Amino acid sequence: MEKGIYTLVLRLDSDITICVGARGQIRFQRGYYAYTGSARGSGGLKRIKRHLRVMDGSNSARRWHIDYLLPHTSLVEVVVTKTHKDLECSIVQKIGERLSFIPRFGCTDCKCLSHLHYSEYLDEMLGVIRHAHADFSSVI
């Protein structure tokens, strides 16, 4: 099973407030969101398919913060770095240098400020995400 780090690029068409489990109510602005996660476990990159099932409503489980936002968004792109190394937080840090973020989202098991980033502009979002992943694509 292939393993790696992925970033889901999502579009949110209108402002919305969502209850995100124990985090409570979070206000999300219309625009583009990038959620970065790790798929280095036994299922590998199949984790992305799980996210897509949550997004389309065929999986109603709410296990991670992102599961609460996914049903309200549409998928724009998935950027993947295939690796066995623990690069998730390094990629997140690189993304965070250029994009704003939703505090403490998706990072309960690390010291990152967030694993969910925001931009009003798709071109900006895609450029930052692709660049961050490219910086680590040679690390296997």
pLDDT digits (tens, 9 = 90+) for 54-79: 999 999 999 999 999 999 999 999 99
Q: Is 112 helix (H, G, I), strand (E, B) or coil?
A: coil
Going by C-alpha positions, the residue among 13, 36, 52 that lies closest to residue 99 is 36
Q: pLDDT tens for residues 5-28?
A: 999 999 999 999 999 999 999 999
Whole-angstrom Cα distance, residue 57 to residue 4? 25
Q: Is 7 helix (H, G, I), strand (E, B) or coil?
A: strand
Whole-angstrom Cα distance, residue 136 to residue 95? 12
CA distances from 126 to 39, 52, 133 (A): 20, 19, 11
Check pLDDT > 60 for residue 95.
yes
Helix spans in the chain (H): 46-56, 66-69, 88-96, 122-134
pTM: 0.95
Question: Could you state, in order of their start, the residue ranges of all structural domains in the chain?
Answer: 4-134
What pLDDT does 139 receive? 58
